[in-house]
Amino acid sequence: METFTKILSGLQNYTLFVKDIIRGMFRCFKYKDDALREMYLIGAKAFLVALGGGLFVGIILAIEVGHQLELFGAKTLIGRTVSLGMIREIGPIITGLLLAARTGAKNTSELGSMQLSEQIDALRAFGTSPVDRLIVPRVVAALIMFLPLTLIADITGILGGMFITITTFHMDVSFYWHSALDALLLKDLFVGFLKPFFFAFFIATISCYYGIYTKGGTTGLGKNTIKAVVSSSVAVLVIDFIFTKVVWEVM
């Protein structure tokens, strides 16, 4: 019962926190320099993570799928499977999970140590809203940067698939591209490009929430960083499930 009350109270606090963030987003231009700095830190600096993650997942996907399709003489479908898989599911998920770890840990540890060293209290004491100053730029930066990073993962994944198709399955590159592009419909692109915005919002708000409510010294900070990464990762998977279910049922 106590745990249930704790979870409910946590959800209530998180909802109120999100409400403050949404209000603060209308004033986000005030701290545009901070948002730009965050965009660089969580976006530009994560370029290689998205590139590497996407590339290797694309390669693995092509190898696994290719061997199975080869049994049925359907190697020409490798491109289709890789492109659909990358754009609709694996690209957004792998980027979401990698960024949940990278951005989530960064946000929670930074804000948590600011909370523990009274820097957040100092902001409030001197009449500055910590949500407007520290949280909103991080959320805005995540919302802007997650889509380009997902695109990088998608493209490199498809390129990785192409590399395997040519080198391992000895297929012509034009077959691969024809199969890959032919499979993609507008709704696939829509779903694949909409997911990163939801992932970004939840990863950024969850990690900032755990950061700003850090208590209990360095042990508390460590615990909250773990909670932030785990919760953000679970949120990514749950949102992806909801999207997939809705897409197959409705669209």
Partner 1 sequence: MITLNNVSLNLEGKQILNNISLNVCEGKTAIILGPSGAGKSSVLRVILGLWRPQKGTVIIDGEDITNKSENQLLHVRRKMGMVFQGNALFDSLTVAENVCYFLKEKENLTEKEISFRIKESLEFVNLEGTDDLYPAQLSGGMKKRVAIARALAFKPCILLYDEPTTGLDPINAKSIVELINKVKESGTTTIVVTHILQDAIILGDKLTLMNNGKIVETNTVDNLLNSSNNFVQDFFFEINQELKILKHKSVI
Q: Does residue 118 touch partner 1 according to CB under 8 A?
A: yes
Q: Which stretch binds partner 1 (CB under 8 A): 74-82, 91-99, 113-121, 228-236?
A: 113-121
Q: Give how many residues touch partner 1 by CB under 8 A.
A: 11
Instruction: Name residues whose C-beta falls within 8 Å of residue 90's C-beta, 6 or more positions apart in sequence.
Output: 57, 61, 157
**Which of 163, 178, 157 has the alpha carbon at shortest distance from 77?**
178
* Residue 13 touches partner 1, criterion: CB under 8 A: no
In whole angstroms, the minimum distance from the beta carbon of 134 to partner 1 comes to 11
Options 13, 119, 167, 218; binder of partner 1; rule CB under 8 A: 119
- Under the binding rule (CB under 8 A), the answer on residue 124 touching partner 1 is yes
Does position 117 bind partner 1 by CB under 8 A?
yes
Q: Are 137 and 30 in contact (CB under 8 A)?
A: no
Phi, psi of 105 (to 5 degrees): -65, -40
Residue with tokens 């032919």, as numbered in its chain:
182
Task: Please state the closest distance from residue 210 (CB atom) to partner 1, in A.
Answer: 18
Q: Would you tell me how many other CB atoms lie within 10 Å of the CB of residue 122?
A: 12
CB of residue 131 vs partner 1: minimum separation in angstroms? 9
CB closer to partner 1, 23 vs 245: 23
Q: What is the 3-state secondary structure (H, E, C) of 122-167?
A: HHHHCCCCHHHHHHHHHHHHHHHHHHHHHHHHHHHHHHHHHHHHHH
Question: Taking CB under 8 A as the rule, does residue 19 contact partner 1?
Answer: no
Stretch that binds partner 1, among 75-83, 100-108, 124-132, 203-211 (CB under 8 A): 124-132
CB-CB neighbours of 12 under 10 Å: 10
What is the number of other CB atoms lying within 10 angstroms of the CB of residue 103?
Answer: 31
Which of the ranges 52-60, 118-126, 143-151, 228-236 carries the binding residues for partner 1, by CB under 8 A? 118-126
The residue ranges that bind partner 1 (CB under 8 A) are 117-119, 121-122, 124-129
